[in-house]
Every structure is written in C-alpha cells, then in structure tokens.
Amino acid sequence: MCIKKIVASLSFVAVFAAGYLAGGQYGSGDAGVAYAQSPARVFELRTYTAHEGRFADVVARFRDHTMRIFAKNGMASVGYFTPQDAPLAGNTLVYILAHPSREAAKKNWDAFRNDPEWQKVKADTEANGPIVDKVVSVYIEPTSFSPLK
C-alpha cells in the first residue's frame, strides 16, 4: 500500500478516535482535553516519525513532558495514537491538538517553542542526537455531521 494511502487511512482512524474520545467519554474536569461542546475550534493532526531506534524516546518525551507543556501553553490534547500496522508501527506517533483558531495555534506554538521548560526537555532528550526524523502537521475542521461539531 502506498504511503499516501496509509497516512490517509491513519488520519481517518485518528480523527474517528478523536471524535469518540472528545464526544464526552471523560468528565469535564479533565484539563487540556477538547470536547465537542467547545466553541468553534481548529484541530491539528500531527504525525511524528522517529529516528531509527528512538521511538521509545519520542513516546517517553510526550508522556512525561510534552503533553503537560502543551497544556501550559494553551494547547488542548485530544488524543495520541500509535499505528498498529507496518510500515508505521513502532516508529510513528500521531496526535490531535485543539486550538481556538489558526491564529491562536500560531501563538500557542510560538509560546511552546520559547518555553524554557520545553527547551530544557528538548535538549535533555536529544543529548544523544535528535529523536524525531519527520513531522507532518495538517489543520483540520470537523464536518457538519461530525460528533465534534
């Protein structure tokens, strides 16, 4: 199967799962989580490919640091996913963020990149070299029939 079809299939699954998760499966007390009842938002679907042998480092950085720093900088985590099938299994992390708007997304990312805590975490986790080989970001919006709308 060509990579474009795999990424398209993965994107569909990620968006479907995000809709399910954001559709009220968790209590409203969860900080940094996007919900369907939120005002208009823009979603960002991001796919990270790890350098050979560094996928566990990518996952650990997100689990232990990145998600919390995202929330601190106005980014709402919707969901994090790992592909089950080759060639993406074992080296790819897919996640969805929610932002109030594209303008807010730009401000959020600027704040995140300039956050001293993030800069330290990035430096510490890349002491033995970069852990992320490739990042793909796509801004998406729910359809009129989406549970997220």
Report cis status (omega within 30 of 0) of the bond before 87: yes
Q: Residue range 42-61: average pLDDT?
A: 97
Q: What is the pLDDT of residues 116-137, one digit of tens each?
A: 999 999 999 999 999 999 999 9
Domains of the chain: residue spans and CATH: 3-140 (3.30.70.100)
65, pLDDT greater than 60: yes
pLDDT band for 29, please (50, 70, 90 cuts).
Answer: very low
Considering the chain, what is the average pLDDT of its residues? 83
pLDDT band for 16, please (50, 70, 90 cuts).
Answer: very low
Residue type, 14: A
Q: Residue range 68-94: average pLDDT?
A: 97
Distance CA 62, CA 92 (A): 13
pLDDT band for 146, please (50, 70, 90 cuts).
Answer: confident
pLDDT band for 147, please (50, 70, 90 cuts).
Answer: confident
